Chains A and B, each alone.
Chain A
Amino acid sequence: MTLFAWITLLAPLMAAIYLTIKPDVRRSASAPNIAIASVAVCAFTSLLFLVSGTELKSLWTWMSFPWDGGTLDIEIGVQVDNLSKLMLIVVGFVGTPIFFFAKGYMKGDPSIGRFFAKFALFVFSMLGIVFATNFLMIFIFWELVGASSYLLIGYYYEKPSACEAAKKAFLTNRVADFGFLLGILLIWSIAGSFDFDVIAQAVQDGNLAGESWKLSLAGVLIFVGAMGKSAQVPFHVWLPDAMEGPTPVSALMHAATMVAAGVYMVIRAFYCFGAEFGVASDFIVMTGAVTAVLAATIAVVQTDIKKVLAYSTLSQLGYMVMALGAGYYAVAMFHLTTHAFFKGLLFLCAGSVIHGCHHEQDMFKMGGLRKKMPTTFWCFTIGMLALTGIPFLSGFFSKDLIVDALHKRHFGGLQLVATATAGLTALYMARSWYLTFFGAYRGHAEPHESPKIMTRPLQFLAVFSAALGAIFYFGGGQEYLSAWQGPGTSPLHIDPTIAITSTVVVLIGYLIAWSFYGKGQTDKGASLAHRFSPVHDLLVNKYYIDDFYLWLVGSIQQGFARFCRLVEENFIVGILVGWPTRFTLWSGDKLRGLQSGRLNFYAYCFVGGVTLLVVFFILAGAQ
């Protein structure tokens, strides 16, 4: 089984390398198949691990140093436990259909091999995070995930907006990783190890009792890292822009797995801290709440079908983070799992729509696709219903448990916020649903249903999106993850009051969307936007947060860089180096006058020098 785990990790890397160094394979039709096979390995082993109940940990020493009288081992390893098994299932079972879909979606792209090489590289990096046994390893793969995200967002590198988005994603994550690495270093000083199990043991034994504030600080810093990858406010700006990448990339990375990596990592990390961690939970839960609301409100005014889903992802990540802050890690993981399936599905549906409409992404140029793309329509509908939490579909269970968790932790106000956001979710999802699939077609090119290789993955994911919540909830998913329950929490059950309230709110959201866009008309929405134009502007401009960052980077940081360059050119080169240079030149110039070439002047100097020497020796001798 250990071998299986290593193979699962390394197979996508091998595929990526193979596709990169073999140009003839890269251009051939088999390039996608190689990548698909490497991901299918993950789906297969995840099932194998799940069925056989495997628990294992295998380590390889990456570097080792004599340190503090002992040794410091920096290790790379694979760890399979209930948490990583669940995450493996997500990566394998969302990843494989998306890879199949991508094969259809990217068909005809001249550099399809390059695409699948990068895509496989991403899966490798993601699996590294899933399998990680210690903080340094998770950081290593964290960075690799960031790099593969950079490469894939910027896949259409001739588009300036794609390059800009890729750079933005990478740098935003780098800033957040600043906090992450500091947090890791802090834990290392406190616990003397990077290994999750060793740290957890030290916390359990009470060895770190005196360090609780440092542990909390480390927890917050590590959470900052997660805020980058999971795109929490104020690091959220990169995710909507990341939609510049090909749609399968958005589905797998920027909806299902990579952005969830932050949540996964925090569960891993906070489990170690155990009861020691608690002070920072208010900070975390607030971050989640702000993100959830902010993103949901922006989603309401988006016109790009992928952007709606991107903001929806932000908002759902906010839910997960709220659950983390409340200490219900298993519930956060539950929502992560269900969200991965239905958001993956929704993105693929969007991809199918975009593909069918000849790369049109503006919903206002769609409409009436229900008849033209029936499979896509039904799958989108299931995904939407699951996301908005219509009873007994998967989103219903996971979202209600989060609201319940907030209720149990007495975050009364936030419970309201979470419920209201559920209503907003229904509003923006139904809006895009009506705009895309109902009314008359507003575009130009004739839309068509996508080929089977693209619709089969939709149907596959749709089944899971519908049923997974119930399977997880009734099948004891929370008990399965009981080792990762936060301190003082127990498995939650659906609370009828909460369930009914949120269902009513969701239905109100649907109702509002129907009243404005119900027949696929757009004029009512436009007139409302016109009437409340300041609010509309605020939302369309994403609360001006991006503009603020642009100003910060463009004016402040770049200004500072220019200042340093001025210092370099004027002070260091001009004065520190320039003045001694000029002094040397000047003195040489002046002394040059002595070498006049006139014999009588030299004779005078000679006589004068001899006289001086004689006088000196006489005086010296006299003493």
Chain B
Amino acid sequence: MSWLSIVVLVAPLIACGRILFMKEESDADRDRIRQTAIGWSTVSLVASLAMFLLFDAGATERYQFLVEIEWVESIGLGLILGVDGISLAMVVLTSIVIWTGCQVSRSITDRVKEHYILLMALCVGVFGVFLSIDLFFFYFFYEMAVIPMYLLIGIWGSRAAKYSKEYATMKLTLFLTTGAVVALIGLLAVYFEAGRVGGVYSFDMREIAKVTFSDSFQITWFPVIFLGFAAIVPLWPLHSWSPIGHAAAPSSVSMLHAGVLMKLGAYAILRIAFDSLPAGAEHWMGWVGLLCCMNILYGGLVAMAQRDMKFIIGFSSSSHMGYVLLGLATMNMLGLSGAVFLMFAHGIMTALAFGLIGWFYEQTHTRVVDDLGGMLKVLPFAGTCFIIMAMASAGLPGFANFASELLVILGAWKSEFVLAGTGMTLPGWVPTMAAIWGIVISATYLLRAIRDAWLGPLNPRWSELKDVTSRKHKTPFVALILVLAVTGCFPSLLVNKIKDGVGKLRVMQSAPVQEEARR
């Protein structure tokens, strides 16, 4: 069944090719283009769900659905696709978000063709990152995801408070490419060092994972790779591109951006930095345990002082990604599984949020909560979905966000964060308290946003707003809520696969050894 991973990756590529040769002259043409994109993203979705169902969580081999295509043998370069429990969750997330994103972007009527080509190209990039087991292609797809993003925001975006869309997209691209270049240096260092130590020059992550690097190499190079990718997570204080990028992007792109693109960084850290440089991770991650508290608390507080709905959700994203970083920093089973699960949950949740904000923004042309008010009366469906989204985001049990944040909190509580270089140790309860307080903060700004925008007396300006009424338009929102609820009520469905992937990470396997060494 390994062809499934090819299907997932190639389906959006085919869509790109198909749309390229379609004409865009009438509304019917536009609709056909849209249907093509939705159709091929459905193929990806079905294939990834099949992968999800067929994935064997107890298998001995680490990667499943493997496809290996040799390319440049002399330097150990080839296209290798496959998934483990971690990337499986990410692939499913991506396919769900892109499938709903394609449907939500119905509202785009200007240069539909280019829009969908770029969206599908972005999609190929993201799938490629999650599926690649080869460092070269990993990086290739990573860059491939950034470029369409630049154009999508630059062309179809909207003004974000005092920043123009051009500023926003420029900033985003510069941050991400700078981060990527820094990470590339680290990746090359790992490649050459692996060749030097292990004797085989290979970009195959499985080969690299067999090499044991010296401690000093790991401690030197871990921060380089980590920081390069942390810019996209985004780790405080490298986060300032993200809320503006969120706010400026059109809704389908915001969905992909917050839902999936931000997860690339954390995924890359897990997959590459943790797997090849476990001792470096062990050495440095204590600091991340401290910095992520800034993400959680500071991000939440800034969100509290925002008035633009997209900025509120944007800063809340950087606050929630702080939990992911905290989960990574715990370096234990609960925390890491929680982090991956939260990446999934947060992806779905923000996709829902931006989809809904897009729905009313198209009609109101304002997102400032003070201008809105009482919209639940005229938009009962969208409003109910929004309240459900906010509740999920604020950590209400029954939704995936609660289950995953709970795991992160449990993991952090039992962890210790060694602050390398200072000789100090941060006991687990400090970040845990920050994390729990972060939940209080997130409830505050979300409930305020609900009250200001949706509840209270209806602002007469909005009495003509159109609700989501047709089945076609309801589908993406209902689907996202269902995913959140099903994985939130029955987390084992997903967590069993994630924990299999996490258990096979090198940091997990070497952890007991290092613990003994520490004693």
A residues within 8 Å of B by Cβ? 61-67, 72, 136, 139-141, 143-144, 147, 150, 154, 157-160, 163-164, 167, 170-171, 174-175, 178, 181-182, 185, 188-189, 557-558, 560-562, 564-565, 567-568, 572-573, 576-577
Which of A66, A140, A144, A154 touches B333 (beta carbons < 8 Å)?
A66
CB distance from B444 to the nearest CB of A (A): 6
Q: What A residues does B306 contact at CB under 8 A?
A: 565
Nearest A residue to B239 by beta-carbon distance? A572
Let me know if B492 and A564 touch, CB within 8 A. Answer: no
Instruction: Give Cα A139 to B395, complex, Å.
Output: 12
8 closest pairs, A vs B, by CB? A565-B305, A561-B304, A140-B397, A561-B305, A564-B301, A163-B455, A157-B455, A561-B301
A157 with B376, Cβ < 8 A, contacts A163-B451, A167-B447, A558-B305 known: yes
CB distance from A510 to the nearest CB of B (A): 43
- Total inter-chain residue pairs, C-beta < 8 Å: 114
Q: What B residues does A558 contact at CB under 8 A?
A: 304-305
Q: What B residues does A175 contact at CB under 8 A?
A: 440
Instruction: Give Cα A577 to B402, complex, Å.
Output: 34
Which of B377, B403, B439 touches A63 (beta carbons < 8 Å)?
B403
Q: What B residues does A163 contact at CB under 8 A?
A: 451, 455-456
Let me know if B492 and A63 touch, CB within 8 A. Answer: yes
Stretch at the interface among B15-23, B221-229, B409-417: B409-417
Nearest A residue to B413 by beta-carbon distance? A185
A144 with B451, Cβ < 8 A, contacts A63-B403, A564-B305, A573-B240 known: no
Let me know if A565 and B302 touch, CB within 8 A. Answer: yes
CB distance from A11 to the nearest CB of B (A): 16
Let me know if A174 and B440 touch, CB within 8 A. Answer: yes
Let me know if B440 and A171 touch, CB within 8 A. Answer: yes
- B 250-285 binary contact with A (CB < 8 Å = 1; else 0): 000000000000000000000000000000000000
Let me know if B499 and A65 touch, CB within 8 A. Answer: yes
Let me know if A143 and B301 touch, CB within 8 A. Answer: no
Q: What A residues does B432 contact at CB under 8 A?
A: 182, 185
Interface centre among A139, A163, A567 (most CB of B within 10 A): A163
A171 with B444, Cβ < 8 A, contacts A158-B377, A558-B305, A565-B302 known: yes
Which of B239, B437, B451, B492 touches A61 (beta carbons < 8 Å)?
B492
Let me know if A63 and B503 touch, CB within 8 A. Answer: no
A158 with B456, Cβ < 8 A, contacts A63-B495, A65-B334, A147-B396 known: yes
Q: List 28 A-B contacts (CB under 8 A).
A: A61-B492, A62-B492, A63-B403, A63-B491, A66-B503, A143-B396, A144-B398, A157-B376, A158-B377, A158-B456, A158-B457, A160-B457, A163-B451, A171-B440, A174-B439, A174-B443, A178-B440, A182-B432, A182-B436, A185-B409, A188-B413, A189-B414, A557-B304, A564-B301, A564-B302, A568-B302, A572-B239, A572-B240
Q: What B residues does A174 contact at CB under 8 A?
A: 439-440, 443
Let me know if B333 and A67 touch, CB within 8 A. Answer: yes
Q: What A residues does B503 contact at CB under 8 A?
A: 66
- B 325-362 binary contact with A (CB < 8 Å = 1; else 0): 00000000110010000000000000000000000000
Let me know if B302 and A164 touch, CB within 8 A. Answer: no
Instruction: Give Cα A150 to B455, complex, Å.
Output: 13
Q: Is B433 in the interface zone, CB < 8 Å from A?
A: yes
Nearest A residue to B403 by beta-carbon distance? A63
A561 with B302, Cβ < 8 A, contacts A167-B451, A171-B443, A576-B237 known: yes
Q: What B residues does A167 contact at CB under 8 A?
A: 447-448, 451
Nearest A residue to B383 by beta-carbon distance? A157
Q: Is B298 in the interface zone, CB < 8 Å from A?
A: yes
Q: Which residues of chain B from 371 to 423 have a CB within 8 Å of any chain A CB?
A: 374, 376-377, 391, 395-398, 402-403, 406-407, 409-410, 413-414
Instruction: Give Cα A538 to B440, complex, Å.
Output: 30
Let me know if A157 and B304 touch, CB within 8 A. Answer: no
Q: Assuming A158-B455, A558-B304, what are 8 further A-B pairs, CB within 8 angstroms?
A: A62-B491, A65-B499, A171-B440, A178-B437, A189-B413, A561-B301, A564-B302, A565-B306
Instruction: Give Cα A170 to B395, complex, Å.
Output: 12
Q: What B residues does A157 contact at CB under 8 A?
A: 376, 454-456
Q: What B residues does A560 contact at CB under 8 A?
A: 301
Instruction: Give Cα A572 to B301, complex, Å.
Output: 15
Q: Is B10 in the interface zone, CB < 8 Å from A?
A: no
Let me know if B240 and A568 touch, CB within 8 A. Answer: yes
Q: What A residues does B396 contact at CB under 8 A?
A: 143-144, 147
Q: What A residues does B444 contact at CB under 8 A?
A: 171
Nearest A residue to B178 by beta-carbon distance? A580
Nearest B residue to A178 by beta-carbon distance? B436
Instruction: Give Cα A164 to B402, complex, Å.
Output: 24
Q: What B residues does A178 contact at CB under 8 A?
A: 436-437, 439-440
Q: What B residues does A66 contact at CB under 8 A?
A: 333, 499, 503
Q: Is B458 in the interface zone, CB < 8 Å from A?
A: yes
Which of B409, B414, B454 touches A181 (beta carbons < 8 Å)?
B409
Instruction: Give Cα A33 to B374, complex, Å.
Output: 30
Instruction: Give Cα A188 to B409, complex, Å.
Output: 12
Q: What B residues does A144 contact at CB under 8 A?
A: 396-398
Nearest A residue to B174 by beta-carbon distance? A581
Instruction: Give Cα A171 to B441, complex, Å.
Output: 9
Let me know if A562 and B305 touch, CB within 8 A. Answer: yes
Let me know if B298 and A564 touch, CB within 8 A. Answer: yes
Instruction: Give Cα A65 to B298, complex, Å.
Output: 31
CB distance from A575 to the nearest CB of B (A): 10
Instruction: Give Cα A565 to B257, complex, Å.
Output: 23
CB distance from A284 to the nearest CB of B (A): 22
Interface centre among A139, A141, A568 (most CB of B within 10 A): A568
Nearest B residue to A137 by beta-carbon distance? B397
CB distance from B260 to the nearest CB of A (A): 24
A171 with B298, Cβ < 8 A, contacts A61-B492, A185-B413, A558-B304 known: no
Instruction: Give Cα A189 to B239, complex, Å.
Output: 34
Q: What B residues does A565 contact at CB under 8 A?
A: 301-302, 305-306
Instruction: Give Cα A195 to B456, complex, Å.
Output: 43
Instruction: Give Cα A576 to B448, complex, Å.
Output: 30
Q: What B residues does A189 contact at CB under 8 A?
A: 413-414
Q: What B residues does A164 contact at CB under 8 A?
A: 451
Instruction: Give Cα A140 to B414, complex, Å.
Output: 20
Q: What B residues does A67 contact at CB under 8 A?
A: 333-334
Instruction: Give Cα A16 to B261, complex, Å.
Output: 36
Instruction: Give Cα A562 to B439, complex, Å.
Output: 19
Let me know if B333 and A65 touch, CB within 8 A. Answer: yes
Instruction: Give Cα A181 to B433, complex, Å.
Output: 10
CB distance from B87 to the nearest CB of A (A): 20
Instruction: Give Cα A564 to B445, complex, Å.
Output: 14
A182 with B302, Cβ < 8 A, contacts A141-B397, A171-B444 known: no
Q: What A residues does B337 contact at CB under 8 A?
A: 65
Interface centre among B409, B447, B491 (most CB of A within 10 A): B447
- B 217-253 binary contact with A (CB < 8 Å = 1; else 0): 0000000000000000000010110000000000000
Q: What B residues does A160 contact at CB under 8 A?
A: 455-457
Nearest B residue to A69 by beta-carbon distance? B512
Instruction: Give Cα A61 to B395, complex, Å.
Output: 21
Nearest A residue to B458 by beta-carbon distance? A158
Let me know if A171 and B447 touch, CB within 8 A. Answer: yes
CB distance from B174 to the nearest CB of A (A): 9
Q: What A residues does B376 contact at CB under 8 A?
A: 157
Instruction: Give Cα A12 to B186, complex, Å.
Output: 56
CB distance from B338 to the nearest CB of A (A): 10
Instruction: Give Cα A170 to B390, complex, Å.
Output: 13
Let me know if A143 and B402 touch, CB within 8 A. Answer: yes
Let me know if A72 and B334 touch, CB within 8 A. Answer: yes
CB distance from B413 to the nearest CB of A (A): 5
Q: What B residues does A159 contact at CB under 8 A?
A: 456
Instruction: Give Cα A209 to B492, complex, Å.
Output: 35
Instruction: Give Cα A66 to B395, complex, Å.
Output: 24
Q: What A residues does B239 contact at CB under 8 A?
A: 572
Q: Which residues of chain B from 419 to 478 have a CB within 8 Å of any chain A CB?
A: 429, 432-433, 436-437, 439-440, 443-444, 447-448, 451, 454-458
Q: What B residues does A561 contact at CB under 8 A?
A: 301-302, 304-305
